Structure 1
């Protein structure tokens, strides 16, 4: 497996490179089909309080979905250990799910009568969640502004190509990248949808249904 290590705002020492390459062996053992491991180390310094931290991002690519994990600490070696542990756990869980799928074939089934999804632990979003999304009640921190007021939620802007898949496949992809949500196009309905983590192995799903505006609104 090829390993690439880059630093953003920080130099990569020979010692860190050696340690990272040694730990890549653990990843390769868990993901034998992986072809490349990208290690990105980002240094951030905060003027308020003089705090500094290192973020290590790991990305595994090869035959199959991309797998990602990241961790932050004041010491980049500690951040590397934490990120490797997260990535290893995601790979282990994905392997267990593949084995379970072979032994117990499963699949999401849509019940037209009740509108429920059978065969997967997914629940519709609650009224409170839908209201929060609709009214924009989500704190946003502009990471480019050093003077921005602190908020525990940081929203990054990223663009991805649309992917059509089932809800079950979206849940699996969410687990592989280690996120709490995953955006996709539902192959069953062609609606933009999001699966998100609830408690344990319980998940939720939010779908958008768009209707064309009246002709008079388009004319105006």
Structure 2
């Protein structure tokens, strides 16, 4: 696996980079050499955050862990990714059966545990009318209904977008695009 390590408000020293790579090497048993892990190390006030994103074949595994010490939270972030891989092993293997596999042969040969094959169940479906608005109005609507995300039709682009509240109290905007694979 390849690693792309960047820092925000922190200098990625050789020691820090080698510690991150050492921890991420635990994931090498799952992925082949063509998969690239994006690692962002962030320092905000007294908090340290590590974000690991592993995109491959239209699937994204992501972990974000916050703590007081960057070195202490690395194991937790890797554990989150490992848990995702193991939880969805059956589905990930089936999804990527056709085409070039991003997984190692050993991982593909492992047997799937009984509980891994359980289907994901949607408990509730909801339909609602969407009206054209801008992102700022969508954030206001989201806050009024007390949710942490809101789906709306962008008045300018006439595309369906999503605004969401981030853990740090700021807002995010998702503008979906069709994958051209």
TM-score, length-scaled by structure 2: 0.57
Q: Bigger radius of gyration, 1 or 2?
A: 1
Task: Determine the C-alpha separation between the residues in 2 that align with 1:69 and 1:136.
Answer: 28
- SS in structure 2 of the partner of residue 92 of structure 1: helix
Seen in structure 2, the aligned counterparts of structure 1 residues 153 and 12 have a Cα distance that, compared at 3 Å, is closer
> How far did residue 33 of structure 1 move?
6.8
8 Å CA contact 2:48, 2:66 repeated in 1: yes
Task: Determine the C-alpha separation between the residues in 2 that align with 1:161 and 1:97.
Answer: 23
Seen in structure 2, the aligned counterparts of structure 1 residues 99 and 63 have a Cα distance that, compared at 3 Å, is closer
Structure-1 residue corresponding to 2:35: 35
Which 4+ stretches in 1 moved above 2 angstroms? 31-34, 61-64, 96-103, 132-135, 137-140, 152-156
| Alignment pair present for 1:65 and 2:59 | yes
> How far did residue 160 of structure 1 move?
3.2
Task: Determine the C-alpha separation between the residues in 2 that align with 1:121 and 1:139.
Answer: 21
Unaligned segments of structure 1, at least 5 residues: 46-51, 104-118, 127-131, 141-151, 165-220
Structure-2 residue corresponding to 1:17: 17
Task: Determine the C-alpha separation between the residues in 1 that align with 2:143 and 2:43.
Answer: 35
Please list the CA deviations of residues 90-129 of structure 1 after superposition, one character each: whole Å capped at 9, or x if unmatched: 11112144468999xxxxxxxxxxxxxxx75212258xxx
Structure-1 residue corresponding to 2:5: 5
> How far did residue 135 of structure 1 move?
4.6
Structure-2 residue corresponding to 1:26: 26
Structure-to-structure mapping, 1:43-192, within 5 angstroms: 43-45=43-45, 52-98=46-92, 121-124=121-124, 135-138=144-147, 154=169, 156-162=171-177
Q: Cα RMSD (Å) of the superposition? A: 3.5
Unaligned segments of structure 2, at least 5 residues: 98-111, 113-118, 127-140, 150-166
Task: Determine the C-alpha separation between the residues in 2 that align with 1:139 and 1:68.
Answer: 19
Seen in structure 2, the aligned counterparts of structure 1 residues 7 and 34 have a Cα distance that, compared at 3 Å, is same
Q: Count the aligned residue pairs.
A: 128
- SS in structure 1 of the partner of residue 173 of structure 2: coil
Seen in structure 2, the aligned counterparts of structure 1 residues 139 and 57 have a Cα distance that, compared at 3 Å, is closer
Structure-2 residue corresponding to 1:190: none
8 Å CA contact 2:142, 2:148 repeated in 1: no
- SS in structure 2 of the partner of residue 24 of structure 1: helix
Task: Determine the C-alpha separation between the residues in 2 that align with 1:15 and 1:153.
Answer: 28
